[in-house]
Chain A
Amino acid sequence: MPERPAKLPASLPALACQGLVVGYGDRVVLDRVSVEIPGGCWTAIVGPNGSGKSTLLRALAGLLVPRAGTVRLQGRRLGEWRRRERAQRLAWLAQTPGATDLTAREVVALGRFAHGGWLAHRDVDDDAAIDRAMRATGSSRWAGRRVSTLSGGERQRVHLARVLAVEAAVLLLDEPTAHLDPPHQEDVVRLLRAQAQGCGVAVLSAIHDLSLALTADRLIVLAEDGLVGQGTVREALRADWLSQAFRRRIDVVDHLGAWLWRPAVDGVPDA
């Protein structure tokens, strides 16, 4: 087993940003956003379309250069990390991962790139990590098939396995449950929770499905005009952040101990 990144003092968030400003052209998508993603905890980003969920994830992953503000990974600015060291600690999953012609296992093996680099051969540890990740996502069965021949759901799980194979301290996942049917969505949620609680990983995912998001440990709620709030699901519900973010079009109700959303009774349709 490779050394997992050292556990951090509980006070220090695994990943945090401060005063983040990100935009494309003359459009500002995130305006002075500050969030903290603690380790050992699954955080879901929720918000309406266009509120900047993917942008926040990409900025946190260091794929976008912010106009202002800083992102800190384990207390250090992203820019101060060596590229490979950063990639060992921070894994990112795109919303629609490419339909490559590589086999599933080859794709998952790319998750080990940051550990080996150019010259290193894949070693036993890498193979073990790849196997673990593929087992965890249930993608071992099609290890030898070309990813382009897989269904959307199978493909998604392969890419999830690729992210898990990094064995990073922070996982940034853009819609990991997209393309999946409910049982497989549930599998993914269980997986994320296990990563967070079992391995102490900081998991941050954008989740479109509100009911799924409400099963997370913490929520970051975005609206079109910025960050509404961040905190535990209970705090979010108490402060009514979701209703604010979705322009009072939804209600969240308690159904047999699970939070579910439904259309608001007095909601006014958007123009």
Chain B
Amino acid sequence: MNAARSTFVAAIIEGPAAERVPIVRWLGVCFAVTLLFTLGGLLVGTTSMATSIHWLFAPNAQSALVLWQIRLPRTIGAWCVGALLGLAGAVAQGVFRNPLAEPYLLGTASGAALGVTIALLASGASVGALAWAVQLGLTGAAVVGAAIAIVLTLALARGVLQTSNLLLSGIVVGFLLSAITSLLLLAKPELWRTLQVFLLGTTAFLGWRATALLAVVLLVCALPATLLSRGLDALTLGEDTARSLGLSLPVLRLALLGIVALATAAVVGEVGVVGFVGLVAPHLARETLSVNHRHLLVASPLCGGALLQAADLVSRWIVRPAELPVGAVTACVGGAYLAYLLWRRTRDA
């Protein structure tokens, strides 16, 4: 495995002629892994593995429900979430030309959390408020909150001209909205546990409806992003050089940030704040394949999807039939991977 990987990397570094083959091989490996995880997603749950396998070949009413209405949409939905985060992470790191940029840097996570908190508070406040809160749903509240956060960030940075301003504004807005959330929670601390699991992210309730929505958003985000990949490549040469090549930076940034915003809002709305995937997936794609955004914007979602599927499996498996919040798993795995990257870099330096 390790040898294969080093020849892999060597091939990419050595010559352009060799580059084509690893891409095919890379995609092959990636699809195989994803398929494996999807199968795992069907088999891992509250039953024993043997029962799950038996169900595959001798279906009954309950197995149909559990396998096809619960486990399959959940694992595919998890893949979509990971892919969206991988895409958003790759785009964010490209736009901000910063390998530590991540999808939530526009304050979307805090905004979504605030939206959910307000919805939860409103639902407890009065019967009248209950009606709209239920109708809008926690998902809708999260998306609205994320959108408001992005608008605030852009307003504070006075547009998209200065990436450093944008980064700072994102942090400021994030802190501000988190503070408001905390203050609101003072009024109803019993919501803390609900919100905490929301903040850690959970794939537990991903059904076909949510999965379909996530898949549509993924398509809507991925197509324009890949079209803009040359712009992201140009940006790696520096902003002035990119402009001299004929790029309109404001238009490019606005379009790309729009993609990041849509992707993260959808994710936060459906599963909560799943951390680290958006940060780690682009690194993984760059490490194993290529930094060229034409490849990266495909590879990073594929990595992110597989990563989150794996995390979802772990979260269902370890303490079954109870489970861990999937965000806690990704934080562990992602943190370990980043620590490894850092360790390797400091060792090589």
Contact = CB atoms under 8 A, between A and B. Distances in A.
**CB atoms of A and B under 8 A apart anywhere in the complex?**
yes
A84 B225 CA distance: 20
A102 B244 CA distance: 18
A190 B241 CA distance: 24
A62 B240 CA distance: 10
Given A83-B246, A110-B230, A94 B241 contact: yes
Interface in A103-154: 103, 105-107, 110-111, 113-114, 116, 118-119, 143-146, 149
Interface string B286-301: 1000011000000000
Interface stretch (A38-46, A85-93, A212-220, A227-235): A85-93
B237 interface: yes
Contacts of B291: 100-102, 146
B333 interface: no
B224 to A, nearest CB: 9
A75 interface: no
Contacts of A113: 230, 234, 245-247
A86 B248 CA distance: 12
B17 interface: yes
A91 B244 contact: yes
Contact of B16 (A63, A92, A97, A144): A144
B243 interface: yes
A108 to B, nearest CB: 11
A227 B238 CA distance: 29
A61 interface: yes
A114 B245 contact: yes
B19 interface: yes
B251 to A, nearest CB: 10
Interface in B219-237: 227-228, 230-231, 233-234, 236-237
B292 A144 contact: no
B286 A101 contact: yes
Contacts of B236: 98, 100-102
A58 interface: yes
A84 to B, nearest CB: 5
Nearest to A119: B227
Interface in B241-284: 241, 243-248
A118 B246 contact: no
B243 A102 contact: no
B95 to A, nearest CB: 15
Given A94-B240, A102-B291, A119-B227, A145 B246 contact: no
B13 interface: yes
B243 A98 contact: no
B292 A84 contact: no
A58 B241 CA distance: 10
Interface string B84-114: 0000000000000000000000000000000
A86 B18 CA distance: 36
B243 A63 contact: yes
B15 interface: yes
Nearest to B248: A83
Which secondary structure characterizes the binding site on chain B?
Answer: helix
B16 A105 contact: yes
B348 interface: no
B190 interface: no
Contacts of B292: 102-103, 106
A102 B14 contact: no
B53 to A, nearest CB: 44
B346 to A, nearest CB: 18
A37 B209 CA distance: 63
Nearest to A64: B240
Residue among B18, B228, B231, B233 having the largest count of chain A Cβ atoms under 10 Å? B233
B231 A118 contact: yes
Given A143-B16, A145-B13, A84 B240 contact: no
Interface in A219-262: none
Nearest to B19: A144
Given A61-B244, A87-B245, A119-B227, A102 B238 contact: no
A144 B17 contact: yes
Contacts of A118: 227-228, 230-231
Contacts of A87: 244-246
A122 to B, nearest CB: 9
Contacts of A90: 244
B13 A107 contact: no
Contacts of B286: 101
B232 to A, nearest CB: 10
A190 B57 CA distance: 74
B302 to A, nearest CB: 19
A111 B245 contact: yes
A84 B246 contact: yes
Nearest to B18: A144
Contacts of A144: 13-19
Nearest to B241: A94
Contacts of A149: 13
25 contacts: A61-B244, A63-B243, A83-B247, A88-B246, A92-B240, A94-B238, A94-B241, A97-B237, A101-B286, A103-B16, A107-B237, A110-B233, A113-B230, A113-B245, A114-B246, A118-B230, A118-B231, A119-B227, A143-B16, A144-B15, A144-B16, A144-B19, A146-B291, A149-B13, A166-B245
Interface of B: 13-19, 227-228, 230-231, 233-234, 236-238, 240-241, 243-248, 286, 291-292
Given A92-B240, A110-B234, 4 more contacts: A61-B244, A97-B241, A113-B247, A114-B246
Interface of A: 58, 61-63, 83-84, 86-88, 90-92, 94, 97-98, 100-103, 105-107, 110-111, 113-114, 116, 118-119, 143-146, 149, 166
